[in-house]
Amino acid sequence: MTSETHLSDLLAYEPETGIITWKVTRPGSKKIAPGVVAGCLNGNGYVVIRVNGLLYLGHRLAVFLHTGKWPDGKVDHRNGVKNDNKWLNLRVGTQKLNAQNVRTASKNSSTGFLGVYPSGKRFVAQIGIDGRPKFLGRFNTPEEAHQRYLEEKRKQHEGCTL
């Protein structure tokens, strides 16, 4: 594994922009030179950076480069934008906190609204709290149900940034 000192010698993190750049020219590479942005986006939309054959997630590397320590939990993007690694957008927390920051319904959602599903001619709002579903009511429109869901989410989920 690449040593932590070695990573700090190779890469620079700019907390205001979230961009990680190379500090050095890497032998045999025309693309790696001082000041060049490191990494690329992976298929999930996260910044990834390869150093000596090892792939690092940009948001975890940003925490390390900024604090000098690897994060001991998940690193969450407060605004939900997976490649926005500005320091003020990153927070270290638990998987639970990270999951509470879901911002959009899954692609399989029949309503297109987070926390809402159809029930006959009406729509149900439901939220998960500590792994258990909580019924929030039946509504005439998916928008009304979603509004109720958001109200409860803001109260119950500390990780919510909506």
Euclidean distance between CA atoms 60 and 39, whole angstroms: 13
Identify the pLDDT of residue 2.
57
Q: Counting beta carbons within 10 angstroms of the beta carbon of residue 111, is it exposed (0 to 12), middle (13 to 18) or buried (19 or more)?
A: middle
Q: Is 100's pLDDT higher than 80? A: no
Q: Is 1's pLDDT higher than 50? A: no
Euclidean distance between CA atoms 135 and 107, whole angstroms: 22
Coil, strand, or helix at residue 16? coil
For residue 53, count other CB atoms closer than 10 A to its CB.
6
Average pLDDT rounded to a whole number, residues 30-50: 93
Instruction: Report yes or no on whether pTM surpasses 0.85.
Output: no
Kindly state the helix (H) or strand (E) to which residue 129 belongs, with its residue range.
strand 122-129
Kindly state the helix (H) or strand (E) to which residue 139 belongs, with its residue range.
strand 132-139
Question: In the predicted model, what is the mean pLDDT of the chain?
Answer: 89
Q: CB-side exposure of 103: number of CA atoms within 13 Å?
A: 9
Q: Is 27's pLDDT higher than 90? A: no
